[in-house]
């Protein structure tokens, strides 16, 4: 048997935490599993670490600890197997007499091993600890969700961009101030730290989308170009969701705004991006709202009005509807162009 750990040489908390976070190599994990099968103290320590795991760590729930019901069952079986193996050896060493024929047989008589209640409790604690960790990982909000909560706080006084981003609640938009960047730095800083604590672009698509949303809604100089770069890189890797195309359109639109509308071609690209989002998801109504803004920049007022009216017919939020209707009233109805 593996004797890396025994009753007098228990793994420290750092090693147990590494085991829980699946950061140990195969033989290291096997050694700790075997040790946990016979050490209830370490099982208690593991359970404590799981319960007090840092919920603010920058890991997505799905990526934190990949242990579904099948894997959990497999782990349980491995722990029980280790216990059984140990008790078989102990039972053989003790050479216990067998009961006479006809006498009631115990579990040890029927299966040829002795199940220690302490060992079973240790196994139960291991399973409960790891199973509990899965519940905690799945039930607690992901880093992306936490970031979006801070974005909602950041835009609460007023939003800094005209277009809409998925998951961002309504707040009034003051066009004469658009493009200056939000002064509510703390919520946006915290949002950015949730998805990018090291300042680098995260790997997960949901985390990237959250980071793009933070950059666009914070709207500091250069943020739109940063967001566009992240979106284009993500699209190039094969993630072609409607939300990503919509985010690309918003990033292009805001880049055009930041350039004081000097490059109208960028709004043409934005229209194409919003159209791609609609093709991917026809029910994504905010894509019509956003496309209307880009069409308006190109002075295609009839197209813009048509998109905005369609948005109004699909939107349920009365505040967004009110803003959309106000935008329709300000459009020039004389331009009866056709989309191309």
Span 276-288, pLDDT tens digits: 999 999 999 999 9
Residue 261's pLDDT is what? 92
CB neighbours of 105 closer than 8 A, spacing ≥ 6?
99
- Residue 259's alpha-carbon distances to 225, 256, 266, 296, 300, in angstroms, are 11, 5, 10, 16, 20
Residue 96's pLDDT is what? 56
Q: Return the higher-pLDDT residue of 234 and 97.
A: 234
Residue 66 has pLDDT above 80, yes or no: no
Torsion angles phi and psi, residue 331, rounded to 5: -80, 150
Residue 174's pLDDT is what? 77
Residue 302 has pLDDT above 60, yes or no: yes
Same domain, 133 and 156: no
Residue 303's pLDDT is what? 97
Of 109, 139, 169, at which residue does a domain stop?
139
What are the tens digits of pLDDT across the range 4-18? 454 457 887 778 777
Give this prediction's pTM. 0.60
Residue 338's pLDDT is what? 42
Domain assignment present for residue 336? The answer is no
Same domain, 36 and 89: yes
Predicted confidence band of residue 186 (pLDDT cuts 50, 70, 90): confident
Maximum mean pLDDT: which of 86-100, 183-197, 290-304: 290-304
Domain assignment present for residue 4? The answer is no
Residue indicated by tokens 């491995």? 78
Structural domain for 114, as ranges:
13-139
Of 139, 162, 193, at which residue does a domain stop?
139
Predicted confidence band of residue 131 (pLDDT cuts 50, 70, 90): low
Residue 301's pLDDT is what? 95
CB neighbours of 110 closer than 8 A, spacing ≥ 6?
none
Domain assignment present for residue 76? The answer is yes
Domain assignment present for residue 203? The answer is yes
Residue indicated by tokens 């196994």? 123
Predicted confidence band of residue 144 (pLDDT cuts 50, 70, 90): very high
DSSP type of residue 60: -
Predicted confidence band of residue 23 (pLDDT cuts 50, 70, 90): confident
Whole-number average pLDDT of the chain: 77
Distance CA 128, CA 269 (A): 53
Same domain, 20 and 44: yes
Q: How many domains does the chain have?
A: 2
Of 117, 139, 161, at which residue does a domain stop?
139
Q: Return the higher-pLDDT residue of 53 and 85.
A: 85
Domain assignment present for residue 271? The answer is yes
For residue 223, what are its two tokens? 């943020």
């Amino acid at each position: 048997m593996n004797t890396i750990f025994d009753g007098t040489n228990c793994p420290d908390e750092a090693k147990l935490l590494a085991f829980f976070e699946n950061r140990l190599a195969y033989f290291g994990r096997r050694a700790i599993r075997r040790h946990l099968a016979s050490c209830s103290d370490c099982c208690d320590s593991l359970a404590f670490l799981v319960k007090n795991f840092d919920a603010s760590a920058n890991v997505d729930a799905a990526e934190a600890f990949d242990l579904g019901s099948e894997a959990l069952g497999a782990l349980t079986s491995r722990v029980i197997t280790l216990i059984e193996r140990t008790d078989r050896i102990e039972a053989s060493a003790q050479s216990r007499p067998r009961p006479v024929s006809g006498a009631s047989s115990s579990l040890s008589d029927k299966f040829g091993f002795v199940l220690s209640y302490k060992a079973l409790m240790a196994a139960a604690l291991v399973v409960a600890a790891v199973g509990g960790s899965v519940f905690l990982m799945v039930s607690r909000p992901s880093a992306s969700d936490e970031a979006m909560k801070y974005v909602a706080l950041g835009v609460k006084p007023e939003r800094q961009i005209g277009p809409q981003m998925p998951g961002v609640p309504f707040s009034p938009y003051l066009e004469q101030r658009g493009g200056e960047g939000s002064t509510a730095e703390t919520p946006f800083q915290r949002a950015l730290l949730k998805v990018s604590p090291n300042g680098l672009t995260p790997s997960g698509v949901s985390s990237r989308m959250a980071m793009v949303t933070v950059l666009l809604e914070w709207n500091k100089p250069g943020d739109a170009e940063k967001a566009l770069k992240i979106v284009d890189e993500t699209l190039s890797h094969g993630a072609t969701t409607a939300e990503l195309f919509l985010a690309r359109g918003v990033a292009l639109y805001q880049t055009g705004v930041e350039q004081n509308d000097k490059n109208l071609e960028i709004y043409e690209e934005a229209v194409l991006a919003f159209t791609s989002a609609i093709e991917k998801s026809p029910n994504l109504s905010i894509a019509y709202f956003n496309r209307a803004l880009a069409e308006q920049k190109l002075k295609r007022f009839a197209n813009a009005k048509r998109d905005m009216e369609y948005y109004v017919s699909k939107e349920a939020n009365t505040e967004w509807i009110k803003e959309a209707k106000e935008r329709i009233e300000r459009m020039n109805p004389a331009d009866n162009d056709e989309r191309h």
